[in-house]
């Protein structure tokens, strides 16, 4: 009996739940590791092309890296059925021949990864030359095109 009482106390203390500490569900974002090298500003949205900070005018190539497309909605879009495509073949208007980057939400900012791109340096400036399409999947038509230095 003298042994059971201390064992019971120890078991009871182990059964008491520990105090819960609050943790952030969303981690704090690190400082931006990308900078804007090209931008197109439209009435309802803005598109930025972002490059890693290690990519500079003096060192534009020499290693493999990815760019990002940042799509910023200025106003809430009327439709939530837009897709963003990067044009691969300028001679072919078939949307199936282009590279799908992702779906555009009606509000907020989205980022998409670019694996292949046309980035050059001319006159000590970045010269980004790709073209993008906004395609409405409900209407099955291109609603806008975005040209960078073409």
Distances (CA, A) of 94 to 84, 91, 101, 114, 129: 14, 9, 16, 20, 20
**pLDDT tier, 63 (very low <50, low <70, confident <90, very high otherwise):** very low
DSSP-based three-state secondary structure for 95: helix
Predicted local confidence at residue 126, as pLDDT: 75
- Model confidence, pTM: 0.69
**pLDDT tier, 82 (very low <50, low <70, confident <90, very high otherwise):** very high
Cα–Cα distance for residue pair 117/101, rounded to 1 Å: 13
By residue count, the chain amounts to 150
Predicted local confidence at residue 57, as pLDDT: 62
Q: Given a cut of 90, is residue 114 above it in pLDDT?
A: no
Predicted local confidence at residue 149, as pLDDT: 66
Predicted local confidence at residue 29, as pLDDT: 45
| pLDDT tens string 7-36 | 888 877 777 777 666 555 544 445 568 888
Average pLDDT over residues 56-61: 59
Fold classification of 31-147 is Immunoglobulin-like (2.60.40)
**pLDDT tier, 56 (very low <50, low <70, confident <90, very high otherwise):** low
**Domain coordinates of the chain in residue numbers?**
31-147
- Please tell me which residue, 5 or 73, carries the higher pLDDT value: 73
């Amino acid at each position: 009996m003298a042994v059971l009482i201390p064992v019971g106390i120890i078991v009871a203390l182990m059964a008491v739940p520990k105090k819960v500490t609050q943790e952030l569900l969303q981690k704090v974002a690190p400082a931006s590791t990308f900078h804007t090298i090209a931008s197109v500003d439209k009435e309802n949205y803005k598109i930025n092309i972002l490059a890693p900070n290690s990519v500079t005018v003096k060192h534009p190539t020499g290693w493999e890296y990815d760019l990002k497309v940042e799509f910023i909605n200025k106003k809430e879009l009327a439709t939530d059925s837009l897709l963003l495509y990067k044009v691969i073949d300028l001679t072919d208007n078939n949307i199936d021949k282009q590279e799908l980057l992702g779906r555009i939400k009606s509000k907020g900012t989205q980022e998409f990864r670019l694996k292949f791109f046309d980035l050059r340096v001319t006159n000590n400036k970045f010269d980004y030359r790709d073209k993008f399409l906004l395609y409405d999947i409900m209407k099955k038509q291109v609603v806008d095109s975005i040209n960078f230095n073409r």
